[in-house]
Structure 1
Amino acid sequence: MLTKTLLSSLSITAALASPLSKRARDNTQAAGTNPIKFTTQFLGNQVAENSCSHRDLGFTGKIKDKWYAVWGDALWCAAGVSDPEKDTSGFHGMVRDAVSVVTGDPLKVHDLNLNKDSPVPHQNQFVPFNTAWGETNMFGFGGTSLCEVDYNSATGVVFYLVNANEQGLKGAGVGKVEVLNGTPTVTKRFGSNGFWWDQSQFPRYGDVAAYRDENSDFIYAWGGPPTRFSGDFVQGGYNYLTRVKASSAFDMSQYEYYYGASGGWIKNKPHDQFGADVAVFWNVGQGQMVYSQFYKCYIFVHLGPGSSDVFLRTATKLEGPWTPDVKVFHATPNNGGLVYAGVAHPYLDTSGQTLVISYTNNNKIEVIKVKFSK
């Protein structure tokens, strides 16, 4: 699964009040008025209709008119178990990421890339590990949304973060995804070690969110700072932004990096400056971008780290500035577990008047429906 930052509400308050957060050039500060007015309905748990596992994430993305979900850790249920609520105790196998196609029912997905387990098949690995790079089947390749690169060839890109467990985070990378026999398949990983952006130097682009902008030719990817800031509460909370034209998604030299309102976009220059004046977010959880036809703006769906709250913020440009968050739901943690990863399901209502949102609650996927008004 991808990294998750746990922050106490006391520490958050202290950081927001710090001199650093009040700098005039702080690009992460909220601006303007959030137009969102809403009512929220809890729908239930989302499960697979043809497999059975405990899972997290499930970020959605579209390739050639079909929407898919990319999961993080998928813990298989015991042999023959078709309902995760009836699973038996113990470890029954797992993969570090998987893929499904979504359905018209917000509480059902159809798992793809399944093995031959009988009577209930289980998910195979989506992003392949490569032993030539020193990777094992326990390496994590947490991915965010699939982003379409070329419609006609049904090709997309997935951003992922290589997690070597005890060795720590290695780097952020991209994989080429081709839809083969109806299943998104990672057919190539880029970089000499399977990633482009070494985490000792560069942000983990794509770890927080990835989005194929429907209003331009660009794919955008947001991610946290290099690992050297992991022990720094303030610096460790900043997020950085890159983008690339979809047609050039597999050419690292074509990526542009946002250096804040004053620095703008710089091509082929990954961030070598860090902090409030070049970041775009601070203290956000993993989430997903959508464009709202109802409000005519972008919405970022995310969960506050450690808060179990589902937040929505808005902007007219993906680099911001973003309005203050509006909390649309509070989830009760299952058995004291973690609640994280806001996922949007915009394909269920293209008018934008409602938005179905899912999130992970201790390896269960819970679903809510938000109805908007003006």
Structure 2
Amino acid sequence: MTTLELTTAINMSRQDLVSFGVQKVNKPKINLLFAFFVIGSIFHGLGAILLVLWMLVLFIRSNFVVRNNLVISCSFVLLFCTLFFSFYPGLRYPLLYIEEIIKQLSWVALAYIGSTMNKNEVRYFYKLFLISIFLTLPLIFIVPVRFKSYFPHSNHLAYYTLIPLITYLFDSNSQRKWIVILMLFFIVVITLSSGGIAVFLATVFLYFIFDQKIKFKTFLQLFLLVSLMGSIVYFTGIFDAFYNKISIVDFQEISERADRGALGSESSLVWRMTYWTMLIREFMSQPISTILLGEGVKTMAAGNYLYDFMARDPHNDYVRLFIERGLIGSVFFLFFLIKMVLTVDNKFILLFILLTPMFSGNIVVSFPFTFSLIILLSVLNSDKRKLNDLYNE
């Protein structure tokens, strides 16, 4: 290759990268997507159906082109996993089984829709989210429960903020990103979710420790941010509430409570840990075939509670997956769920915001959380492949 040809090739590559970086926002598309997000947050089944229909429209318009996206592939595997490990003939409401299949199909739809989006559209989506939450702030004074806006639960709203948090932490060099991050933190605080606040602060801390270069500016930013956020947590009494939850945990007492079936009411954490213990013990007393293959999807859902002592769902995705899908199904499901995250950069902090809330946040069954997580992963995976293709040309 001559010098002139080499120079021309380099310039073409630069132009491709510049055009790749300038990503336009299709506002009507994202506005409609956000409308589906809100609808699905209120009516989960309807939101999932709308997403599946959207995917079919996109698929037909693309002349049935199958996109090369690992997140789509993983979501298909999770769908087949659900189909294979989910059948339980004794469900009181078999329609819930169909609902679970539609939900998993909507994950495929989200991955497919995400593969057609870009990062600027994701950021525009988060702007709509922030505006919508601040517009619903008057509900704090109207509804006598913890603030949740249009989300199913206040904890779901708190954990949801982790997804835009990750996006702004890693995908923006602007100083304005800290304003957005403080707005997200404000939302977490008003939900009064101690778990959500703890994971939010831990995520910011991990970002500074593992992603930022060690220099004075980094330490200064971390110090100022920790001081501000820590002061808010301390003076609002959230720190004391979180400490009290942790300090009264006694594993021996929890075991004894589980033996007696006495859940207690001193702490939501103690209550949940006792409940989890009872559920796991009951499940482990079943035949080996049930332990391996599970009791069936949705046997932990309201209306289909499998065990006599059950009063509510487990509030723990690991317990739910283990009992419903068994040892084989839950390991298989978690493997491909984790593999989906490992297809993108910054994978370890993304794994942290997924796997940690699964202990108590019902994240896997949270429509808004999985909605934005899968879209983000699909966008990042598609962008990564596009960049690799450019560099390899």
TM-score of Structure 1 vs Structure 2, range by shorter chain:
under 0.3
Higher strand share: 1
Higher helix share: 2
- Give the structure-2-normalised TM-score: 0.26
Higher RCO (C-alpha under 8 Å, 6+ residues apart): 2
- Give the structure-1-normalised TM-score: 0.27
